[in-house]
Chain A
């Protein structure tokens, strides 16, 4: 059950776009279209932002988008806003267990 890899931190100025990567293997990210992304504010429960690689749940801003190429999935936040400052986690279905999480990426709005 190897964890996925994410950059520890990503930053950007208001209005800019940033992209967070999530790298796995052919047994998880690369093998299934079941990558999802969660946002977590300090002290709060996570919120689902993207599911099935590129789908947004109802109520999630279209500034959030997801994609995948090979064993790497990506979350892009466009038009960065102060409220986007949070931790972001990717997760994927795997061949052995339903979920494996990435270590999380801290997004800072400069």
Chain B
């Protein structure tokens, strides 16, 4: 059974940093790209960042480019999102999601989310 478990959420002041982690199990982790998707309170889903299975290729939404860094440790089956220079508008539930197989672009499994609140 595929499981994705996010951790590291919490309250941080504007301009501060936070690191989210996602522990994966139940599949061959290094084979699949992973993404982070966020949802601000009462708002829709926003794709944030993605990393390839090997970790060498990364993608970012314009809204976080230069502030967030995605990475993965295939020896520990974890993917992380380092968030720096946080702003109030980064407040959201952050979901970790697994990309389906090669040749497809959809997110077939999602974690339950981690809440990040940016406020003074």
Contacts and interface: CB of A to CB of B under 8 A. Distances in A.
A45 B111 contact: yes
A38 B113 CA distance: 16
Interface in B44-98: 44-47, 50, 59-62, 95
B95 A46 contact: yes
B21 interface: no
Given A45-B112, A51-B104, A89 B47 contact: no
A52 B45 CA distance: 19
Interface string A37-68: 01010000111100110000100000000000
Interface stretch (A14-22, A75-83, A100-108): A100-108
Interface string B100-116: 10001111101111000
Interface residues of A, number: 25
How extensive is the interface on chain B, given as a class? 20 to 34
Contacts of A40: 45
Interface in B13-70: 33, 35, 37, 44-47, 50, 59-62
Interface of B: 33, 35, 37, 44-47, 50, 59-62, 95, 99-100, 104-108, 110-113
Given A91-B106, A93-B105, A99-B47, 16 more contacts: A32-B105, A34-B106, A36-B106, A46-B95, A46-B107, A46-B110, A47-B110, A48-B108, A51-B100, A57-B108, A89-B45, A91-B107, A97-B47, A99-B107, A101-B44, A101-B45
26 contacts: A1-B62, A40-B45, A45-B111, A46-B37, A46-B95, A46-B107, A47-B110, A48-B106, A48-B107, A48-B108, A51-B104, A57-B108, A91-B45, A91-B47, A91-B107, A97-B50, A97-B60, A97-B61, A98-B35, A98-B47, A99-B35, A99-B37, A99-B47, A101-B37, A102-B44, A104-B44
